[in-house]
Structure 1
């Protein structure tokens, strides 16, 4: 444990590992991380979705003018505008398709109030439904003390209502293991017509829990993701219990 400013520094490689231990970003080139190998396959895993709206490209160009000014603006946070012609209403939801070791399949999501249970099957629970994005976002908890009960989990995001607008949001999914670095998956691809996105696939293969980046956008909803990954559930139209304020 480092306690004093004058401690003996480790080697260069060790310094790099310590400095970068707080976050791992899953990318196309590096899409997989093992929770088991970093000792994080126990306790409650937390998965968070957060997002903010961004204006259309046209509004961006109108406000920022020249190419040089736009480049300089990349180093400044973009303020979120009030709703107007350049903005759209969007309600992103975090959800999880699950398949347990005994063959049980289902979904945990705000739609239909399928909020799950952390201490009983499926050992997954949704914290609530944030309809406006922001820093808190929506959160799923997965009880990895029951890791032997899981076969595979598909964490996905979908647009409940409003205009398909993944290209108009700054969205990211963050995974907080009980130990080791936070895992981050930005949803930055331009897919203006998509309504759903498979974000990560968590699998239990011979006792090892891995997280794999998917980031696959589809134009439909849960049923289309189901077909893409072969879950085999029956889907119908669902509604949230309370309307948007």
Structure 2
């Protein structure tokens, strides 16, 4: 899908009208999920508004991985014998990770599986999505994240900001059931893990984290904000895109 060319005036208006952040403030999970009790040497951003900054590097950054992981839902199977044997099964959850982006040249857009907006790693916007995992059980050699956004670190200075979000389509009635988390991996740094601990089950979109280019460095902020849809999230953060049922139009 071609990226929309938004007018300079509309982008300026979106930036000026950016809403104030809302401030919403250890079961075995899917492969790659890091619980609060795991001692993995990672940096945790557990509170809304908490930030972490990585200093700029003279030789730039390598490939940056932003992974989504979540716990699958375990349900007890129906039937007399199933209950007698305590038989359970995993229920697949259709949860997707996505991002809104703004480049230094003012270009803005979205990357997500819905609408097949997979981005481009080598050319603008220098961000790509690995694909669409509909189960939450990942078995690839990628540290266990279920879906991955790849950022071309060699072009980090072409990127101004990213908004990382999750959106539920099917298989879960609330965020508390699946406990999603974002894992950000920058080579040479401890993994950064953001796990929302406040849930708004009636809202389908969760803005988990913001990643900003801060004078060539990387600033990560825990947002943990919930919205009824993509358009509302976009307006709150001033990206100025047009949306049609979760797909950028």
Q: Same fold (TM over 0.5)?
A: yes
Aligned residue number for residue 182 of structure 2: 173
Matched, 1:82 2:101: no
Aligned residue number for residue 96 of structure 1: 99
8 A Cα contact 2:46 2:197, kept in partner: no
**Aligned mates of 1:129, 1:208 — CA distance in 2:** 29
Of residues 131, 134, 141, the one that matches 2:134 is 131
Which structure exhibits the higher relative contact order, with contacts defined as CA atoms closer than 8 Å and separated by 6 or more residues? 2
Matched, 1:209 2:218: yes
Q: Is 89-98 or 36-45 further displaced after alignment? A: 36-45
CA RMSD of aligned residues (A): 2.7
What's the CA shift string for 1:52-97, capped at 9, x where partnerless? Answer: 23469xxxxxxxxxxxxxxxxxxxxxx99426xxx7x631100010
8 A Cα contact 1:158 1:197, kept in partner: yes
What's the CA shift string for 1:183-227, capped at 9, x where partnerless? Answer: 011133232212111111111133232111111122x12111101
**Aligned mates of 2:48, 2:246 — CA distance in 1:** 37
Q: Secondary structure at the match of 1:227?
A: helix
Aligned residue number for residue 237 of structure 2: 229
Cα 1:190–1:237 change in 2 (3 A) is closer
Shift of 1:163: 5.2
What's the CA shift string for 1:124-148, capped at 9, x where partnerless? Answer: 0001100111244111101121011
Matches within 5 A, 1:174-193: 174-193=183-202
Q: Is 127-136 or 20-29 further displaced after alignment? A: 20-29
Cα 1:195–1:43 change in 2 (3 A) is same
When Rg is computed on C-alpha atoms for both structures, the one with the higher figure is 1
Q: Is 223-232 or 170-179 further displaced after alignment? A: 170-179
**Aligned mates of 2:165, 2:246 — CA distance in 1:** 17
8 A Cα contact 1:21 1:180, kept in partner: no
The structure with the largest helix share of the pair is 1
Q: Secondary structure at the match of 2:180?
A: strand
Cα 1:210–1:39 change in 2 (3 A) is farther
Matches within 5 A, 1:37-186: 42-54=61-73, 81-82=88-89, 90-135=93-138, 136=144, 137-161=146-170, 164-186=173-195
Cα 1:52–1:165 change in 2 (3 A) is same
TM-score, length-scaled by structure 2 = 0.69
**Aligned mates of 2:88, 2:179 — CA distance in 1:** 13
8 A Cα contact 2:56 2:215, kept in partner: no
